[in-house]
């Protein structure tokens, strides 16, 4: 080949590569750096016939989609133009050696103050699938959230046939009131907070709510095609059942980890969780429009938004009139499980299994270095002197805890305090590994429901294999709790109803193909056992993803120490790390 021809080919290849980046950003070679600019701004948005000012990213609600490939580096510059302090969390990203970019306020960073900015800089290592980003301070994530989609590496494929189209579906909650005022009032009075006014699908309430027919999500499809729905539950405080009338879904992924496919016509998804499903459309549908619907699963004793959100699955049939304006009458809403269908939730949860293939192995720790038993549930704090409280018995304040410790957020970020060895007065390392006072966790609650309050952590040497049994309690009512672990995925090796039996239950663990997740629902009146390898140095929050329980203190933190190799050490903080 002549030098001239070789040169011409090189130029053509370069032009093709540049065009592919410009026209098809999702198809470029892995390992590139992708830049995003997030401006936190106020915007007037109208829902339910009411206009309110909300906090947004780039004026969008829900926020913009972040797209990358496994192996890419994401650089997201966040500029705060509002009066609220803000921090963002990249939910499910492991943040290997980049804990400073994890985002929970006062854990890995101080919040970004008004007029300030911060660059979240991290590489996506060994992950692909559907995750999401959201605010991680107070209740700001009510409007600050969006999808985070990670495609496989270039030239890699899904472990299933490529779908015709992929569509993010984000469930959320809409509040006519200011959510910051709602939670602040609750913390002052000690009572449970008011509930949302509607649920949303991709920010839209749909036809079952007041004057919202025009604000309805419509998924337009073609007959005989397969669509991948990237389902994300961004609701503040509710698990949700979801169903599409006359259609079944094949679940293929959970929390950005592939699972053995299984079919269901109804799924349950907890706040924080993501679920990818394949929807195969009918080749000859009997009608053009089908209702998709979601409503809450609730087992507690407080108030909740007992309503149903609806959208439309609309077939594009060229021989029929345009279906842009879909009538809501004469369409049946699919039947969903009862509000408190605990057995349905348990059966659905037990169906999840890891692929456990050669390419996607289930690396569950077989030998455990550290065992922990954590009770999770509600409790109370005494009412301050000379104040009237509206919590339990109208004489105390609602609280929530792990092993009866309700976590108080420090005023200096934990990670910063740990890295610079200035933990004195910020946190202590005596978080209890087991309940200090054992009791019948799912039986009659003890007379004393008061919790202790503090900022306590568990310290783990690098590469420690960990098992945690998370046990729900009946104190102030048994309730499902979606627990989320930052900085790591974990394997769900066992779960059950009632009190965990340390002599009998471990024998039933699944150590072959347990599902890998970052968020798991602790069963109402039951337990779940998880295992993970503490191989990511830093300070990592574990908490309930019901924001009301998070605000009441249902959270704790792990500090994972550095390993010996340079690749096993937490890197120094960036120069623009926000200050408290």
Sheet of strand 218-221: strand arrangement: 218-221, 309-315, 289-297, 239-244, 266-269
Catalogue all structural domains in the chain, each as residue range(s) with its CATH number: 27-157 (2.60.40.420), 160-320+327-354 (2.60.40.420), 370-560 (2.60.40.420)
The DSSP string of 499-568 is S--TTTGGGG---SSBPEESEEEEPTTEEEEEEEEE-S-EEEEEEESSHHHHHTT-EEEEEEPP-SSGGG
* pLDDT value of position 479: 94
The predicted pLDDT at position 535 comes to 98
* Tokens matching residue 271: 């706040």
Question: Residues 438-461: pLDDT tens digits?
Answer: 999 999 988 899 999 999 999 999
| Backbone φ, ψ for residue 427 (5° rounding) | -150, 165
Q: Output the furthest CA–CA distance in the chain (Å, rounded).
A: 91
pLDDT at 320: 52
Q: Output the DSSP codes for 256-307.
A: TEEEEEEEESEEEE-TT-EEEEEEEPPSS-SSSEEEEEEEEE--SSS-----
CA–CA dist 370, 428 (Å, integer):
19
- Name the residue with tokens 């949860």: 349
Q: Which pLDDT does position 331 carry in this prediction?
A: 84
Q: Which of 273, 279, 271 is nearest to 252 (CA)?
A: 279
pLDDT of 49 reads 95
Exposed / middle / buried, residue 394 (Cβ in 10 Å: 0-12, 13-18, 19+)? exposed
C-alpha 392/C-alpha 399 separation (Å) is 10
Nearest of 518, 504, 534, 558 to residue 369 by alpha carbon: 534
**pLDDT at site 329:** 56
3-state SS track over 88-153: EEEECCCCCCCHHHCCCECCCECCECCCCEEEEEEECCCCCEEEEEEECCCCHHHCCEEEEEEECC
**Cα 471 from chain centroid (whole Å):** 20
The predicted structure's pLDDT at residue 86: 98
Structure tokens at 419: 């890295």
Q: pLDDT by residue for the chain (580 residues), tens digit each? A: 444 433 444 444 444 434 444 334 444 444 999 999 999 999 999 999 999 999 999 999 999 999 999 999 999 999 999 999 999 999 999 999 999 999 999 999 999 999 999 999 999 999 999 999 999 999 999 999 999 999 999 999 999 999 999 999 999 999 999 999 999 999 999 999 999 999 999 999 999 999 999 999 999 999 999 999 999 999 999 999 999 999 999 999 999 999 999 999 999 999 999 999 999 999 999 999 999 999 999 998 778 889 999 999 999 987 554 444 455 456 899 999 999 999 999 999 999 999 999 999 999 999 999 999 999 999 999 999 989 999 998 899 999 999 999 999 999 999 999 999 999 999 999 999 999 999 999 999 888 999 999 999 999 999 999 999 999 999 999 999 999 999 999 999 999 999 999 999 999 999 999 999 999 999 999 999 999 999 999 999 999 999 999 999 999 999 999 999 999 999 999 999 999 8
Contacts of 287 (CB under 8 A, 6+ apart): 315
The reported pLDDT for the residue numbered 318 is 72
Rounded to whole angstroms, how far apart are CA atoms 283 and 17? 37
pTM above 0.85, yes or no: yes
For 73, residues 6+ apart whose C-beta sits below 8 A from its C-beta are 31, 32, 33, 34, 121, 122, 123, 124
Pairing of strands 117-123, 73-80: antiparallel
Helix (H, G, I), strand (E, B) or coil at 180: helix
Q: What is the DSSP pairing of strand 165-174 with strand 519-522?
A: unpaired
How many residues are listed for the chain in this entry? Answer: 580
d(CA 472, CA 402) in angstroms, rounded, equals 10
């Amino acid at each position: 080949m002549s030098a001239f021809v070789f040169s011409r080919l090189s130029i053509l290849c370069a032009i093709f590569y540049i065009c592919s980046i410009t026209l098809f950003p999702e198809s470029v070679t892995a390992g590139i750096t992708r830049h995003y600019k997030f401006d936190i701004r106020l915007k007037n948005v109208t829902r339910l016939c009411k206009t309110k000012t909300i906090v947004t990213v780039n004026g969008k609600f829900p926020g913009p989609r972040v797209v990358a490939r496994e192996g890419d580096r994401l650089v997201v510059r966040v500029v705060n133009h509002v009066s609220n302090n803000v921090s963002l969390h990249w939910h499910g990203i492991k943040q290997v050696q980049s804990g400073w970019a994890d985002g929970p306020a006062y854990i890995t960073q101080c919040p970004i103050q008004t007029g300030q900015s911060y660059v979240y800089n991290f590489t996506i290592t060994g992950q692909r699938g559907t995750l999401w980003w959201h605010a991680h301070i107070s209740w700001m994530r009510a409007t600050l959230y969006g999808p985070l989609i990670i495609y496989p590496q270039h030239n890699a494929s899904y472990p299933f046939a490529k779908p015709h189209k992929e569509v993010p579906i984000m469930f959320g909650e809409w509040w006519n009131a200011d959510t910051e005022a709602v939670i602040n009032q609750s913390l002052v009075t000690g009572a449970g907070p008011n509930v949302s006014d509607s649920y949303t699908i991709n920010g839209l309430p749909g036809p079952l709510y007041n004057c919202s027919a025009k604000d309805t999500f419509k998924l337009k499809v073609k007959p005989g095609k397969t669509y991948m729905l990237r389902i994300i539950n961004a609701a503040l405080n509710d698990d949700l059942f979801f169903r599409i009338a006359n259609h079944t879904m094949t679940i293929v992924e959970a929390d950005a980890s592939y699972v053995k496919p299984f079919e269901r016509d109804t799924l349950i998804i907890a706040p924080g969780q993501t679920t990818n499903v394949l929807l195969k459309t009918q080749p000859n549908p009997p009608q053009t429009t089908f209702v998709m619907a979601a409503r809450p699963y609730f087992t507690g004793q407080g108030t909740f938004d007992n309503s149903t959100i609806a959208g439309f699955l609309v077939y594009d049939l060229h021989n029929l009139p345009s279906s842009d304006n879909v009538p809501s009458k004469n369409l049946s809403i699919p039947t969903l499980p009862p509000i408190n269908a605990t057995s349905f939730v348990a059966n659905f949860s037990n169906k999840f299994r890891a692929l456990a293939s050669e390419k996607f192995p289930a690396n569950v720790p077989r030998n455990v270095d550290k065992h922990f038993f954590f009770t999770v549930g509600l409790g109370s704090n005494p009412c301050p002197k000379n104040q009237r409280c509206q919590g339990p018995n109208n004489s105390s304040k609602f609280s929530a805890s792990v092993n009866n410790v309700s976590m108080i957020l420090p005023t200096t970020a934990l990670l910063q305090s740990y890295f610079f060895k200035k933990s004195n007065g910020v946190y202590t390392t005596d978080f209890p590994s087991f309940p200090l006072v054992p009791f019948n966790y799912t039986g009659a609650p003890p007379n004393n429901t008061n919790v202790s309050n503090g900022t306590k952590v568990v310290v783990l040497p690098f590469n420690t294999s960990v098992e945690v049994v998370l046990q729900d309690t009946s104190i102030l009512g048994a309730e499902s709790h979606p627990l989320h672990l930052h900085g790591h995925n974990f394997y769900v090796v066992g779960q059950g109803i009632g009190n965990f039996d340390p002599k009998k239950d471990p024998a039933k663990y699944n150590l072959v193909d347990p599902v890998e997740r970052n968020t798991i629902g602790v069963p109402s009146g039951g337990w779940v056992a998880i295992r993970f390898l503490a191989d990511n140095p830093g300070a990592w929050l574990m908490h309930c993803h019901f924001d009301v329980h998070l605000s009441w203190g249902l959270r704790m933190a792990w500090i994972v120490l550095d390993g010996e190799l340079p690749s096993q050490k937490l890197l120094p903080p960036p120069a623009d790390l926000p200050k408290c």
